[in-house]
Each structure stands twice: as C-alpha cells, then as structure tokens.
Amino acid sequence: MDTNKDTLTKHTTAMEEDDMVSLRDIIDIFLNNWKWFVLSVILCIGASRVYLATLNNVYQRQAVILVKDDNMGSGRRMPSVSTDALMQLNGVLTGTSVKNEVYILQSNQLIQEVVKELNLDVAYSMRSGLRTVSLYDTRPFDVTFTTEFDYPVGFDVEVTDEKGCLIHNVRYANPDVEEIESTFNVAYGDTLSAPFGKLVLTARNDQMEAFVGKKISVVRYSMETATNITQAKITSGEVDRESTLVLLTCNDTNIKRAEDILMSLLNAYKQSIIRDKNQVAQSTAEFIEERIQLIHTELSKVESELADFKENSGLVDVKANSSAFLSQSATARQNTVQAETHYSMVQYLMEYVADNSKGNSLIPVMGGVSDAGIQTQIAKYNEVMLTRNRLAENTKEGSPALKEMDSNLEQMRGAILTSLKGYTASLKLQVDKARAEERGLKSHITSVPRKEKQVLDIARQQAIKETLYTFLLNKREETALQLAITEANIRIVDLPYGSSRPVSPRRSMILLCALALGIAIPYGIIQAIVLLNVGVRGRKDLEKYTTIPVLGEIPQRTDDSEDSAILVAEQNDDPIAEAFRMLRFSMNFMKRDAKVIMFTSTMPGEGKTFVSRNFAAVLGLSGHRVLLVDADIRKRTQSRLSSLVTRQGLTSYLSGASDDLKSMIVSENNECNLDFLPAGMTPPNPAELLMSERLEQCIDELKKMYDYIVIDSVPAQAVADANIVNRVADLTMYVLRAGMIDRRYLPELETLYQEKKFNHLCVVLNGCSNRKKKYGYGYGYGYGYGYGYGNDRKRKSVGKGWKLFRKG
C-alpha cells in the first residue's frame, strides 16, 4: 500500500512539474481562434480611435528663468557663511531661496493675477466632431460680465449674423434662482440684463464671418475655480541642484494660451519682486520724511532763539570776543557735535524698534549706524519680514509656518534691540567724554560774559540740528533713487518655447494598449473557459492525473446513430471504425492472452454499451468467434437495444433455471461473427446472483465455445455488480466520456488502479472530438489516417497520428 502511495505521489509531482503552458500551446490558441482575436483587436482599436477622437491635443510650453543672488554676481548657489551660519547658531531656520521661488511661482496670488490679466475666468468652447474645442485667440466675440457672480454661470451663444446673436440654454448654479428657460436676442455692444446678472458681448469683426450659424458655449467660473484650473496647468522646478535656474512648464490645449499664461506669470512674478524691494525703500522714506519734519521744526526753533537772544543782548560778533576760546575748543566742539549726532540717530532707531505697534513693519536702514553687525542684522530682519509677509498672503492666519516665522522675527527684533542698546551705551560714553572735554575748556573762559556763553550753547544746538537735517536730506535722495529702480533679481533665460507636436494624448501608446487589450480579452475568455471546464478534456488529462494505461480514444459520433448501431464494418474506414481497430490492436499489448474483457464506466451515459458492442464486433471482424454478454441484469441495456423477445438469458443460468447456454445465445451479427447472450429476466437479488459460483461455471463453458467474451457490466460507481463480475474478467476496460466526468474523480480512479480493484484496468476515452480543440491546449491527438473513406468519398487526414500505448 505504501509503495502504491509513493508511486502516486511521485507521479502527481511529475504531473505538476509538467503542468505548464508552452509557447506552442499559446500559438495553437491563437491559430485555432484567430477570427475571434482579429475581431477583438478590430473592435478595441476602433474603440480607441473613437476615444482619441473625443480628446483634445495637449501642448507643452516651457520657460527658463535665472534667480540672481543679491550678494553675488553669478547664478551659482553659494552658501552665505556669515549671515546664514549666524542665524542657524541663534536657532533661526534658513531655507533655500530657489525652492522658495519655485513655490511662489505657483502661488495662488500670482496665478490669480494671471487669470485677471488674461480673463481666464471666462471660457469659450464649441463642438467639433466628437470633441469640445477651446476657443482662446480665435473667437467671434468677447463677453464682459459687469455684475459680480457668486456662482458659476454658463450659456450657449448662437451666432446669427454680424450684428447680434441668440443666447439660450442658460445654466446657473445658484440654488436660489429657478431654472432659466428664456432665450435672449442680444446685439453686440448692448448690455444684457438677465436673471443671473448683466453682461456685454463685444464683436470681433475680423473673425465673425467664420462663426456665423455656429453655437459657442460660454462658461464664467468663479475666481477661485478659474485659479485652480490654471494652477493645475502650471508646474515649476529647479533645473538642477547646482544652479539657480527655474523651469516653468504649462500644458494646455491651446498653444497661444499656454504661451500667454507663462509670459503673464513671469511679468507678475517680476512685479511682485519689485514691490517687495520697494517696500523696504518706502518704509525708509517714510521714516526719513517724518524725522526731517521734526528736525526742521527744532532747527527753526533754535535759529529763532539765537536771533532773539542776539537782538535782546545786543551781541553781533560773539566770535570776536571769544576767538581765543574758540580756537582752543574747536576740536572738542566738533567731536561733541559728531558724537551727539550719532547718538541721536541711534536713539531714534532704537525707539522705532522698541515700538510694538510696528512689529510687522520693516526696520529703516540708516547710514548713521556705523556698526556693521547691527546693519547686517537689520538687513537680514527685513529679508525675513518680506518672506513672512509674502507667506501670509498665501496661507491662512495662525498656520504653523507663519507662527514659526513670527517667533523668529520676534527673536531677531529682540537681538537687534539688544545690539542697539549696547551701541547706544557706547555712544553715550563718547558723548559724555566729548562734553567733559568741552566743560574742561569752558573752565578756562570764566571771564567770558554769561550772555556769550548762552550764545555758544544756542549755536552748538543749531550746528547739531543743521548736521542732522543735512544728513536726512541726503538719505531721502538716496531712498528716492532706490524707489526709481524697477529691476528684479531675475533674468529670463528662455522665453516660452515648445514643439508643435502634442504631449497628450499619447496616441501610439493608447493604440498599443488597445491592441494588447484586443488580444488579452479573447485570450482571457478562452482561459476562463478552460479553467471553468472541470471535465476530462482528453487523453492528456488522463495521462496527467493517472498512471492507468489508455488503450484508445473513440471519436465523437457526428451522426444520430443509436447505441445499438454497429459502426465498424470490413470496408468501413471512417475514424470511428479505425479507432476500434486501434483499440483491438492495443489490447494485445495490454494482455495478449486476455479472453474475457469486461466493460464498465463511472456512471450511465458514458457510451459503455456502444463501445462494448462495437469492440465485440471489431474482434469478430478479425476472424474470431466473439460473444457479447449483457451482465447488466438490472437495466438490461444491451438486451433492450437488441429488441429481443426471449426471456432466457444470463440470469436463467445463474439462477439454475436452465443449464443450456447454447439455447440462450442468439446470433447478433453474422458478418462480424458476433453472438449475444442476453441478460434474461431481472432478478430480485442481482448482487447475490452474480456472486454465485455459477458465474465462473458459465464463463468457463463459454470460453470453450468462443475466442473472446465481451462482458457489458454496470457502471462501477453505481452499484457493486461490476466489482463482483470483475473476478472472472481477464481485462477491464473502463469507459470515460470526454467532458462528462469531473477531473477531480481521476485520483479516485487512480486509487482503484493502484489497489487493483479491477483486473488489468485500462481506460477507453469515448466521445473525443475529431477536430482540433477550439479552446484550451489541444487535449487528445486527433483521428483519421489519410486512407480515405471509399472511392466516392473525399480523402481526409485529421490529426497527427496515433499514440498506441502509454503505461504509467
């Protein structure tokens, strides 16, 4: 038993290894079903052509810009060691400027400016065949909406003539307005007051004639929707990581519109940079103007005070009275004036920085601050503040990025204020030192009249105010020059360019996919049919799942002949007759001395009766005496097909009712030397009757009379009669009908073979197709041998030969 199991296991493993689809199998599928494949490919390619006819060509335009570094002349990205390193040490995050510009180029603010400039919130289109064509630079009119719309609105315009048009099919997405079914006749240039708002149609006379009689669809989107649509067409990115080049790409169905979008975007981007730069200069100009007005008032007050004092004191030339003192104190006075001037400027700047109401304002750049570190801190603060304000325009208030930048700015402002306080303290020391030197000189002029000393004090205040006033006037002119400069820190390297060939749809790829789909659909259907077919498909299945010898294959009957028909004849060379002759020939290899051959099957309807009847006939045609025994004593199939009226038969002998076998045998077919032993009456106990010793006696006696005894037994899986009768058989032929028995039964049949439940079990496959298989991989080997069917019949060769025998 273990040996049988091991043999079965090894054979199953070998079958699994051999269960592969070969290239030849695939080629056979295509050749046998080429019409379906061709039809499927034609339909899929046709459908893809229709699909392509509904798509608009998408074209691509690109532009390249160079982002300049304000600190360097070249476009190479170099690390700023001093400022960036200092900011990172202080815990302030720094980013790559080019990546920031890449994001800004696709920001909602810039795209919205492009939409407004090009009026992209109003879309024009018309049907052309199966597709909808967008009209941009070529259209018969322009629509101007004079009313603000909160909801999208669309309508169809039929161009009637060069003076007016017809508006109908209005689509308004406002839920508060009922469906508009009116039709409006509008003259070009007139204002139309419709339920959805007011609009004006302006004719383009140079293009009107080509559109007369055609219908154009107009849709007005909200600004947000139009911005999102345009933004989806634009992409930007760095050309490479080692340069500051930025590549802008726009994909659109209209080439002119793609070029206009890129040019408008570049212009809007340049203007935004100029505005950002002017914000610093404008803030500085406002601060200087405010200080000039204040210093002017103070200077006027000091000059008036000096004039009044000289008039009241009668002093005209104070210098003549104190020339000796002035010559000695000239240097000290000059130092004091300079120190106090710087001190005042820094005081003003520190008050501005400390003012919390100006937390989101830029810090003025003052030349009076000679400390390079403070100047660098102020410049970096203004740069970060500009970035923060630009980010605030494109993000929601309270976003994490905005909060982080506000925190960084607060830290930087505090650091600047701390630096200014330290610098102010040092200037205060300088002022105190200069004043101390001046006071020391004053101690030597105690003889100078008190009024003269007052004049000197007033003159000193006047000099300080005049110096500060002159300095501010110079700064105001410098700031005005900065405001007059309109150059952005970018350079357009390539204007919008691109190929006239569309980038989408990829027609060759779509057609290739359609071709692949056209091949895959019928192939998948065929594979599904094969997978769903669980029946025994042919000899290949038997040899794959079992080791049982396959003696032969009987082709499927093409005519309506009954099971009782004997299709084999001496001069009959059709495939069925040849199959039975090959079966007779193969039997000699299986068991040459076999005299008693039993036929059985799995269930009724597999052709066991037909096969056994014709096999007995073909044995008789070879010159042997053959007896066909109907051992199916329950249904008596062979006896009923023979239309016998006798009640004598096998059961009569088995029951002991008669011992004369010769009297029970009838001649079935003299041409084939075939006799027949009927089943007899149906007994009440068929199994017990077949188990009696008289069955062996019957067979022994019949062996003396005939060369071959063919027993037609019952199906093996229906009742136990076949197993009982098999004890007298030399050879058991198990008939299987192709497509009828589930392949999952074959392992059970293999078990019967391995356990030797039947004597010399072999299989005969009935009902095989005599044509090439239309589905699957060609189970079976075909029939026909090229001999022809007679003088009046067409010679025919079907199949590839005959495999005589294969023993597992």
pLDDT category at 405 given cuts 50, 70, 90 is confident
Question: Which residues share a beta bridge with 710?
Answer: 597, 628
pLDDT in tens, 680-733: 888 888 888 899 999 999 999 999 999 999 999 999 888 888 899 999 999 999
pTM exceeding the 0.75 threshold for the entire prediction:
no
How many whole angstroms separate alpha carbon 8 and alpha carbon 747? 9
How many whole angstroms separate alpha carbon 763 and alpha carbon 10? 21
pLDDT category at 41 given cuts 50, 70, 90 is very high
Strands (E), 662-739: 666-669, 674-677, 708-712, 731-737
Lowest mean pLDDT among 17-21, 23-27, 524-528: 17-21
pLDDT category at 627 given cuts 50, 70, 90 is very high
What average pLDDT does range 150-168 have in this prediction? 86
105, 488 in Cβ contact below 8 A? Answer: no
How many whole angstroms separate alpha carbon 779 and alpha carbon 629? 33
Q: Which two tokens stand for residue 313?
A: 């004191």
How many whole angstroms separate alpha carbon 146 and alpha carbon 352? 46
How many whole angstroms separate alpha carbon 444 and alpha carbon 437? 12
> Phi and psi at residue 28, in whole multiples of 5°?
-60, -40
pLDDT recorded at residue 315? 57
Instruction: Tell me which DSSP letter residue 190 carries.
Output: P
Q: What is the mean pLDDT of the chain?
A: 79
| pLDDT of 13 strictly over 90 | no
Residue 659 CB contacts under 8 Å (≥ 6 apart), including other chains: 653
Q: Which two tokens stand for residue 150?
A: 């909160």
β 708-712/596-601 pair status = parallel
pLDDT in tens, 768-807: 875 544 444 444 434 443 333 333 333 333 233 323 222 3
Q: Which two tokens stand for residue 315?
A: 């002093």
H/E element holding 237? strand 234-238
Runs of H (alpha helix) within 355-399: 372-394
Q: Which two tokens stand for residue 415?
A: 């650091």
What average pLDDT does range 730-759 have in this prediction? 89
pLDDT recorded at residue 596? 94
What average pLDDT does range 568-581 have in this prediction? 78
How many whole angstroms separate alpha carbon 447 and alpha carbon 325? 11
How many whole angstroms separate alpha carbon 322 and alpha carbon 454? 13
How many whole angstroms separate alpha carbon 757 and alpha carbon 753? 6
What average pLDDT does range 491-514 have in this prediction? 91
769, 796 in Cβ contact below 8 A? Answer: no
| pLDDT of 494 strictly over 80 | yes
Q: Which two tokens stand for residue 503?
A: 């980038």
pLDDT category at 40 given cuts 50, 70, 90 is very high
pLDDT in tens, 414-454: 888 888 888 888 888 888 888 887 777 666 555 455 666 67
How many whole angstroms separate alpha carbon 101 and alpha carbon 66? 11
Q: Which two tokens stand for residue 109?
A: 């603010």
- Most confidently modeled of 155-169, 222-236, 337-351? 222-236
The whole-angstrom distance between residue 725's C-alpha and the CA centroid of its chain comes to 67
What average pLDDT does range 500-520 have in this prediction? 92
Q: Tell which residue, 692, 733, 691, has the closest CA to residue 709.
A: 733
pLDDT recorded at residue 717? 83
Instruction: Tell me which DSSP letter residue 83 carries.
Output: H
115, 121 in Cβ contact below 8 A? Answer: yes
pLDDT category at 605 given cuts 50, 70, 90 is confident
